[in-house]
A and B are shown apart, each in its own frame.
Chain A
Amino acid sequence: MALSANADFKTRLQNWLPKLVLSPTLALVMVFVYGFIIFSAYLSFTDSRLLPSFDWVGLENYSKLWRLSHWKVSITNMGVFAVLYIGICTVLGLGLAIFLDQKIRGEGLIRTIYLYPMALSFIVTGTAWKWFLDPGIGLENVMQSWGWTSFEFDWIKDSDFAIYTVVLAAVWQTSGFVMAMFLAGLRGIDNEILKAAQMDGASNWNLYRRIIIPQLRPAFLSAFVILSHLAIKTFDLVIALTGGGPGRATELPATFMYSYTFSRNQMGIGAASATIMLMAIAAIMVPYLYSELREKK
């Protein structure tokens, strides 16, 4: 009798143990992420200014938010930045990975060179590129002093082009990492299938298009997740590179939210912008994750 009770307890423990092990993380996430999101969303309906206040004002912050041209500039910039950043990093990462996969001599060295920018903090990247792109002391000046006097590269000071410098610096920082993800994916592809297809007369181009790239789906998922999270969180880079300028030309929702919450003492509006940011993220990520994770079953 005692034995089976013991066995029962042990099995029950084994059944519960996995969930028990998972629960600290789940608890932390529920409180410190979702709890805070709810808190932030609540604040967006209050009249918080310097510090959180709990006096309800309804949709006033949202209406103020949408009247601000500053906000609209941030959103447009976000769209431009995200599309270019994710797109270029993916294409570049994939391309470089494919090239690097071709039995290249010195692959280890080249791979390290491509990867190291990821080790730098965004502040360091921003500062280095700010210098590099400054017309007075950077690339433009160097090119001109080398004799190419008509060379111009003052994007960073140009309201219309400054956002592209942010894209440039961000791509520089992360494309190597994306390349590493795709390289790992490429290395995991079964060579037998490729050999079989080659024997059937498939060209390199077709091999890539029909077999290899579709098999890289997990890598595309990881890359998309990593890149979008970085795109949304881009804050340090903008502050270090352009400070949001010239004027407001490189403001992004993250910098907008920060300045409205912490410098302008308009926490309610900051919280409203944060809530909208999160809704937009959810709108994109949830369907994507749902479709990808479902298949894994």
Chain B
Amino acid sequence: MRSFLKTKTAIALALSVTAGSAVADGHGGVEVLHWWTSGGEAAALNVLKGDLEAQGIGWTDMPVAGGGGEQAMTVLRARVTAGDAPTAVQALGFDIIDWANEGALANLNDVAAAEGWDDVIPAALQQFAKVDGAWVSAPVNVHSTNWVWANKAVLDANGIAVPETWEGFAAALDTLSAAGVTPIAHGGQPWQDATVFDAVAMSALGPDGYRSAFIDLDPEALGSDAMKEAFDRMAVIRANVDDNFSGRDWNLATAMVINGEAGFQMMGDWAKGEFLNAGEIPGEDFLCFRFPGTQDQVTFNADQFMMFDQGGDVSAEQAALATAILSPSFQSAFNVVKGSVPARTDVSDADFDACGKQGMADLAAAAESGNLFGSVAHGHANEASVKNAIYDVVTAHFNGEYDSETAVAELVTAAEIAQ
């Protein structure tokens, strides 16, 4: 009798353990792989989760932080190779195109047609969401990287107006340096060095030069004198950061600007969230302006959720997720929190702050005038291998390994090997 009970308990235990691990599917809901794990980002994502739950769709969260998505991309490869792809995955730029080319993504054309995506999403953005005529991902936002953020009090105290040209900017740096303020707050990580390089290169090369060098990967453009000028300007920036910059996280650099230790930071518009969280008001406590020389251009990167083929037609849940992401109400609510601007051009800017409004206006204008370019630093100008090769050169140059001429030569070689 006793042994029978024991066996029964044992079986029951075994079953409960295996049963627990059998419900790992997420079917009947959506499984989302992403790296938005910190407070503000998670809050933004929760808006989407709430939207779906109101429709009765479950949300299985699969967060993998680290490296700005690096770890998540590794996990994604493992999942796809194992035949167990998540429903939706946060991704940027060329990565989406790469996955589409592997045939792993679902075709969202029905949803796109029903919602009229073709009309409201800028062409430059569609390049990454629509591959070979098929919509494969839903853009969540548009970040821009050629912003400069400044502490207004520090600038006023030193008589500096918003610089309009590179020369004006360099002069402002000198003024701050003489006053004992760190001119530029910077974090020495490859992607941050490259984010600064985005704007600097645009200012030195101009939009056409930027396009031939980074998007067309023309070796002549990559090896041009204008490129050398870009690196020279990077050297000036390097001379104007504090000694402890290496490895610093970007939000710690923003903190330096917020508390007046530094005057400027070149960073994407996700930095705005830090200022807002510190209770600062755009235009009064902090300034946002385009990098001098790039006032008419917008270098962008867009977070998107690429939808993976779940074996057959787009499921109702996937369609609901895609629709929810592109709904104007979500676009507004999400981007107000995140600091970026909506991926749809027909969303009202009523809820956005001054910098957000400017961002939306700049985006629309740049899209119209053909000045909307993908950011090199964030994988929207060229593919991952080239992007990283450029990181290597920019970082090595920034850390003093190369002088400007060597950097230009290395850039040409690196781009060639990476293709």
Chains A and B touch each other in the complex, with CB atoms below 8 Å apart? yes
Q: A259 touching B189 by the CB < 8 A rule?
A: no
Smallest Cβ-Cβ distance to A67: which chain B residue: B417
> Which residues of the partner chain B approach A68 to less than 8 Å between Cβ atoms?
417
Tell me if B395 is interfacial: C-beta within 8 Å of chain A.
yes
- Of A135, A247, A263, which one neighbours B396 at CB under 8 angstroms? A247
- Of B399, B413, B417, B418, which one neighbours A159 at CB under 8 angstroms? B399
Tell me if B102 is interfacial: C-beta within 8 Å of chain A.
yes
Q: Which residues in window 254-282 of A have CB below 8 A to B?
A: 258-259, 262-266
> Which residues of the partner chain B approach A51 to less than 8 Å between Cβ atoms?
77, 80-81, 102
Task: Report which residue of A157, A258, A259 has the largest number of chain B beta carbons within 10 angstroms of its beta carbon.
Answer: A157
- Of A67, A157, A248, A263, which one neighbours B246 at CB under 8 angstroms? A157
- Of A49, A64, A245, A266, which one neighbours B247 at CB under 8 angstroms? A245
Interface string of B152-177 (1 = CB under 8 A from A): 00000000000000000000000000
Q: A266 touching B385 by the CB < 8 A rule?
A: yes
- Of A64, A156, A246, which one neighbours B417 at CB under 8 angstroms? A64
Q: B80 touching A247 by the CB < 8 A rule?
A: no
Count of interface residues, chain A, beta-carbon cutoff 8 Å: 28
A50 to B103, CA, bound (A): 12
> Which residues of the partner chain A approach B25 to less than 8 Å between Cβ atoms?
none
A156 to B189, CA, bound (A): 13
Which of B66-74, B124-132, B348-356 lies at the interface? Answer: B66-74
Smallest Cβ-Cβ distance to A140: which chain B residue: B244
Tell me if B41 is interfacial: C-beta within 8 Å of chain A.
no
Tell me if B98 is interfacial: C-beta within 8 Å of chain A.
yes
CB distance from B319 to the nearest CB of A (A): 26
Tell me if A70 is interfacial: C-beta within 8 Å of chain B.
yes
> Which residues of the partner chain A approach B392 to less than 8 Å between Cβ atoms?
70, 248
Q: B74 touching A262 by the CB < 8 A rule?
A: yes
Q: B80 touching A157 by the CB < 8 A rule?
A: no
> Which residues of the partner chain B approach A265 to less than 8 Å between Cβ atoms?
95, 98, 383-385
Q: Which residues in window 207-247 of B have CB below 8 A to A?
A: 243-244, 246-247
Tell me if A79 is interfacial: C-beta within 8 Å of chain B.
no
Interface size band for B: 35 or more
Tell me if B304 is interfacial: C-beta within 8 Å of chain A.
no
Known: A157-B246, A157-B247. Contact between A245 and B417, CB under 8 A? no
Q: A243 touching B189 by the CB < 8 A rule?
A: yes
> Which residues of the partner chain A approach B389 to less than 8 Å between Cβ atoms?
264
> Which residues of the partner chain A approach B339 to less than 8 Å between Cβ atoms?
none
A101 to B114, CA, bound (A): 78
A136 to B261, CA, bound (A): 14
A136 to B245, CA, bound (A): 10
> Which residues of the partner chain B approach A173 to less than 8 Å between Cβ atoms?
none
A243 to B383, CA, bound (A): 22
A68 to B414, CA, bound (A): 8
A243 to B187, CA, bound (A): 13
A69 to B410, CA, bound (A): 10
Tell me if A242 is interfacial: C-beta within 8 Å of chain B.
yes
> Which residues of the partner chain A approach B385 to less than 8 Å between Cβ atoms?
49, 264-266
Q: A264 touching B399 by the CB < 8 A rule?
A: no
- Of B73, B99, B102, which one neighbours A263 at CB under 8 angstroms? B73
Known: A51-B102, A245-B188. Contact between A264 and B395, CB under 8 A? no
> Which residues of the partner chain B approach A248 to less than 8 Å between Cβ atoms?
392, 395-396
Smallest Cβ-Cβ distance to A241: which chain B residue: B247
> Measuring CB to CB, which residues of chain B are less than 8 angstroms from any residue of chain A?
67, 70, 73-74, 77, 80-81, 95, 98-99, 101-102, 188-190, 243-244, 246-247, 383-385, 388-389, 392, 395-396, 398-401, 410, 413, 417-418
Nearest 5 pairs of A and B residues by beta carbon:
A157-B246, A247-B399, A246-B246, A262-B74, A265-B384
> Measuring CB to CB, which residues of chain A are less than 8 angstroms from any residue of chain B?
49-51, 64, 67-70, 134-136, 154, 156-157, 159, 242-243, 245-248, 258-259, 262-266
Task: With A51-B102, A247-B401, A262-B77 given, name 19 new contacts (CB 8 A).
Answer: A50-B101, A51-B81, A67-B413, A68-B417, A135-B244, A154-B243, A154-B244, A156-B246, A157-B246, A159-B400, A245-B188, A245-B190, A245-B395, A247-B396, A259-B70, A264-B385, A264-B418, A265-B95, A265-B383
16 contacts between A and B (CB under 8 A): A50-B99, A51-B77, A64-B417, A69-B410, A154-B244, A242-B247, A245-B189, A246-B188, A246-B399, A247-B190, A247-B395, A247-B396, A248-B395, A264-B418, A265-B98, A266-B418
